[in-house]
Chains A and B, each alone.
Chain A
């Protein structure tokens, strides 16, 4: 069952590169992959928008500007090399996230209050 779960993705690229990718020589290897996060306007969080290749951080930011903000999509850019992203394991999703299911008391609608009560 585990055999297919070694899919390589965000956070795993570094491992593969260290291990050597398919015997490609240096001149053939691509620039590293970077993940791009964009703040679409002041006051909002940076949001993941995609990835790109760049040789260094300065280039990654400029590439992100040219690739992902051609239509005024952003006011601020974060980039991080994909290999530095650590991700949770989807096989553990149930144990990680399901326990929150029965904690409905964390939501305001859990509490039954009279309709006359306002400003709350």
Chain B
């Protein structure tokens, strides 16, 4: 018989499980801070999916072929699905979706700053798929192993579905890169505008990232921002050659000694400004979300009222659980 009866605190027991890669499930004891961190991170991720529908949704009605139209609808719709999976995961932590949405609308909750940039030409849809989804996937794959069970399961589903998004984006750019001179210009223009924001997506560099150490210990986060960013730059610097395009960074160069690409300095001032509301589209994005939510209020209310009437008609069999 195993009789390790040394008194362990719940916190130690919890950390031990995390260390042994045992997933934490909703009803398990967890430090309040862990729960709060997860709620913040998962809801932020969910908000990013939902706000991210807007810049791409812009182009659904202008997609240049029926095939592109169908695949873009499918992709943007997937993002709604991903937002939904993530909100559901966060809801297991005891916060309601309505609360999270309020936090988004009031500005209390953040979302990925990249979606505050405008989509100005059709190639932007390709660039978003290739660069933005590419960066997102790189961030998300390690999260499939994150310590919180519902979050990890949502991420597995999301990663499986996202794999077509990046391919779709690259295909759009590849077609443009083989097209007319005007199309090639469109393609390069989009890459120029999306490159820097996309590498900012990995977040502040490790020494300026306040939550990293604790999140790594809890295995909410598995790989550091800078490490992921470097990996992304290495991959994209090669892929851009297939397009015959360039990345807008004169400092970009292969470093034999490091075995990685060196790249230029990120404009963190821009990053912090866009995050804190000064990006080109912050106001439009949130206004669009609030409008959809408010215009939907009477619809949600009507459906609830109808469901309630139905319950009463069926003799109230389906009554509320005893408090």
A interface residues (Cβ-Cβ under 8 A, vs B)? 1, 4-5, 7-10, 14-15, 17-19, 21-22, 24, 26-31, 33, 50-53, 55-56, 59, 67, 70-71, 83-84, 87, 89-91
A-B contact pairs, 5 of them (CB 8 A): A24-B98, A26-B304, A53-B97, A59-B303, A70-B77
Q: Mark B38-49, 1 if CB is under 8 A from A, else 0.
A: 000000000000
Find residues 56-83 in chain B having any chain A CB closer than 8 Å to their own CB.
77-78, 81
Q: Mark B110-135, 1 if CB is under 8 A from A, else 0.
A: 00000000000000000000000000
B interface residues (Cβ-Cβ under 8 A, vs A)? 10, 25-32, 35, 77-78, 81, 84-85, 88, 91-94, 96-99, 153-154, 157, 161, 297, 300-301, 303-304, 306-307, 310, 320-321, 323
CB distance from A104 to the nearest CB of B (A): 15
A26 to B26, Cβ gap below 8 A?
Answer: no
B81 to A33, Cβ gap below 8 A?
Answer: no
A27 to B297, Cβ gap below 8 A?
Answer: yes
A14–B321 Cα distance when bound, in Å, is: 6
Known: A4-B31, A22-B99, A50-B85. A10 touches B300 (CB 8 A): no
With both beta carbons as reference points, the residue of chain A lying nearest to B310 in the complex is identified as A56
Known: A4-B29, A7-B27. A15 touches B301 (CB 8 A): no
With both beta carbons as reference points, the residue of chain B lying nearest to A3 in the complex is identified as B32
Interface contacts beyond A1-B10, A15-B321, A70-B81: sample of 5 additional A-B pairs, CB < 8 Å, sorted by A? A7-B26, A52-B88, A55-B307, A56-B306, A67-B84
With both beta carbons as reference points, the residue of chain B lying nearest to A88 in the complex is identified as B27
A4–B29 Cα distance when bound, in Å, is: 7
Residues of the A chain whose Cβ atoms lie less than 8 Å from the Cβ of B84: 52, 67
A-B contact count, CB below 8 Å?
88
CB distance from A103 to the nearest CB of B (A): 15
CB distance from B144 to the nearest CB of A (A): 15
Known: A50-B88, A51-B88. A87 touches B303 (CB 8 A): no
A29–B147 Cα distance when bound, in Å, is: 31
B303 to A18, Cβ gap below 8 A?
Answer: no
A50–B158 Cα distance when bound, in Å, is: 12
B29 to A5, Cβ gap below 8 A?
Answer: yes
Residues of the A chain whose Cβ atoms lie less than 8 Å from the Cβ of B27: 5, 7, 9, 87, 89-90
CB distance from A26 to the nearest CB of B (A): 7
B300 to A31, Cβ gap below 8 A?
Answer: yes
A17–B323 Cα distance when bound, in Å, is: 9
A5–B299 Cα distance when bound, in Å, is: 36
Residues of the B chain whose Cβ atoms lie less than 8 Å from the Cβ of A70: 77-78, 81
CB distance from A37 to the nearest CB of B (A): 14
A55–B31 Cα distance when bound, in Å, is: 34
CB distance from B178 to the nearest CB of A (A): 30
Residues of the B chain whose Cβ atoms lie less than 8 Å from the Cβ of A59: 303
With both beta carbons as reference points, the residue of chain A lying nearest to B300 in the complex is identified as A31
CB distance from A115 to the nearest CB of B (A): 34
B94 to A9, Cβ gap below 8 A?
Answer: yes
CB distance from A43 to the nearest CB of B (A): 23
Residues of the A chain whose Cβ atoms lie less than 8 Å from the Cβ of B323: 15, 18-19
A102–B35 Cα distance when bound, in Å, is: 35
B28 to A90, Cβ gap below 8 A?
Answer: yes
A42–B248 Cα distance when bound, in Å, is: 53
Known: A10-B26, A15-B323, A90-B28. A28 touches B98 (CB 8 A): yes
A17–B32 Cα distance when bound, in Å, is: 22
A-B CB proximity, top 3 nearest: A55-B303, A9-B26, A8-B94
